[in-house]
Structures are given as structure tokens and as C-alpha cells.
């Protein structure tokens, strides 16, 4: 079945780095754009970044631009989010989501993972 | 950035009654060349990821019960649940995918009266 499984979350000190992964299965990963969306505790959804199917188009939220890097390895059916210089306000559940608009990721997010929790705390 | 504003923030409706949630965008999300509204609705239950309900403002995702419907165009949109069921208790979000950053509304919490 179609599935996205995030991993890599945990507790990290402010200023440190973390890399999240999202393993895809059950569909042709290389033909979909992919997003990261986060949700701070008790808060709403915040879009973080999108990458096109071939990695040629990438966009970020202003809140993470220059701090986070989205990437993908289509040979491994895996999406990544490299998070540097982490701050308390980056504490959230991070979800990856699939987008059928392969070229620009300008489509509905039709499949979501269960999320991985990142806690930034000293 | 396009700001998405939902109303109300919370809503209590009796079982079997109609629930209506509104979403307003700060600029049009209707793309003229495709004549499509780049607007989705998601449902999120506690402890679960969001689930896609409606896309292109009015197209129901496969498997979504037909009591859920979306309407509107341009800047004003509505999610309607025609006959509320107990399993519909959740937070509902609208989101625009017209332009980056792809912004969400603040969410509407739907409860049973």
C-alpha cells in the first residue's frame, strides 16, 4: 500500500543539526513532488518546503530559508530534510506529504506520513 | 504571502445537522489559464496526520463520504458537512497551493453539540 514513513526526529540542543528522512513505498516515488509540513505542539499546520520530482525545483518557507535543506534520493525512494542551527521554535511534528504535481509541487498533498517529532531543548 | 483566514475558529453542531466552515484568502487562488482554484481542505483528528478531503476547491478525494462538499471561487470558499456524524469531530484546515509559501488557514475545531 501507499506509505510514507518519517524518521530521524528526537531531542536536540539549540544550535545543533538534525536530518529527517521520509521513506516512500507503494508508489512511483520519482514521479511525485514531495513536501515537508510541520505542526508545533497544540498549533496549526505550517508548510516548510517542497521539492519537485527530479529535484530541480525547490521552495522554502521564509521561516526556514537558509536554515533547512530539502533533498531527495529517487534511487532510495527517500526524502530528506536537513535542519541546521535549530531553535526552540522549530519544535514540532514534521510530516512529509506527496504531491501529484511532479514539476512544481503545486498540487494537493494527497498522502501524508504519520510524522516524526523534533524537540529543540537544552 | 497569501493569508488564509478561516471562520469560525470553533463550531459545535448537533449530530445529523449541517456544519459549514468558511475560508477566505487574501488574494485570488483562481488560476486563469486552468480555471482552477488552488484550494484544498484537510481533516485532522487528534494524534493523526492531516487527511485530504477536497482539492481544486470542490473535488472530493476518493473514499471521502459524499456528505463532505467544497464550494467557492476566487477568494471565498466553504466546506460543508451535510449531516454531521460522530466521526467527523476533528480540526479542519484550508490551504492554498496557488503560490509559495503554500499557506494554511488557522484551523476550525468541529465538535458535537
Q: Is the peptide bond before B101 cis (omega within 30 degrees of 0)?
A: yes
Per-residue pLDDT tens over the stretch A1-43: 999 999 999 999 999 999 999 999 999 999 999 999 999 999 9
Which residue in A has a C-alpha nearest to residue B101's C-alpha? A61
> Measured between CB atoms, does B63 come within 8 Å of chain A?
no
Are the Cβ atoms of A108 and B52 closer than 8 angstroms? yes
Tell me how close the Cα of B81 comes to any Cα of chain A, in angstroms: 20
Collapsed DSSP state (helix, strand, coil) of residue A47:
strand
CA distances from A101 to A25, A53, A85 (A): 18, 8, 31
pLDDT in tens, A91-107: 999 999 999 998 888 89
pLDDT tens for each residue of B56-108: 999 999 999 999 999 999 999 999 999 999 999 999 999 999 999 999 999 99
- pLDDT tens-digit readout, A35-81: 999 999 999 999 999 999 999 999 999 999 999 999 999 999 999 99
Greatest Cα-to-Cα distance within chain A, rounded to the nearest angstrom: 40
What does DSSP say about strands B39-44 and B90-96: parallel, antiparallel, or unpaired?
A: antiparallel
Q: How far is CA B65 from CA A74, A110, B15, B85, in A?
A: 34, 16, 16, 11
Name the strand (E) or helix (H) holding B112.
strand B108-112
Q: Please give the mean pLDDT across all residues of chain B.
A: 97
Chain A interface disruption, residue of B3, B47, B49, most A CBs within 10 A:
B49
Peptide bond into B2 cis (omega under 30): no
Amino acid at each position: 500500500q501507499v506509505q510514507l514513513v518519517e524518521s530521524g526526529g528526537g531531542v536536540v540542543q539549540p544550535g545543533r543539526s538534525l536530518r529527517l528522512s521520509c521513506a516512500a513505498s507503494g508508489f512511483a516515488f520519482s514521479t511525485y513532488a514531495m513536501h515537508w509540513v510541520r505542526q508545533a505542539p497544540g498549533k496549526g499546520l505550517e508548510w516548510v518546503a517542497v521539492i519537485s520530482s527530479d529535484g530541480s525545483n525547490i521552495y522554502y518557507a521564509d521561516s526556514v530559508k537558509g536554515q533547512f535543506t530539502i533533498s531527495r534520493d529517487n534511487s532510495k525512494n527517500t526524502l530528506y530534510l536537513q535542519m541546521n542551527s535549530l531553535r526552540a521554535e522549530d519544535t514540532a511534528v514534521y510530516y512529509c506529504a506527496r504531491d501529484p504535481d511532479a514539476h512544481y509541487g503545486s498540487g494537493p498533498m494527497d498522502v501524508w506520513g504519520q510524522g516524526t517529532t523534533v524537540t529543540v531543548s537544552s | 504571502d497569501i493569508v488564509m483566514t478561516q471562520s469560525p475558529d470553533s463550531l459545535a453542531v448537533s449530530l445529523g445537522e449541517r456544519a459549514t466552515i468558511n475560508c477566505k484568502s487574501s488574494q485570488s487562488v483562481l488560476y486563469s489559464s486552468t480555471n482552477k482554484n488552488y484550494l484544498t481542505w484537510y481533516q485532522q483528528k487528534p494524534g493523526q496526520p492531516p487527511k485530504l478531503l477536497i482539492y481544486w476547491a470542490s473535488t472530493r478525494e476518493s473514499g471521502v463520504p459524499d456528505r463532505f462538499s467544497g464550494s467557492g471561487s476566487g477568494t471565498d470558499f466553504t466546506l460543508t458537512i451535510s449531516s454531521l456524524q460522530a466521526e467527523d469531530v476533528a480540526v479542519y484546515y484550508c490551504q492554498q497551493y496557488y503560490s509559495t509559501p503554500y499557506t494554511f488557514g488557522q484551523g476550525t475545531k468541529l465538535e458535537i453539540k
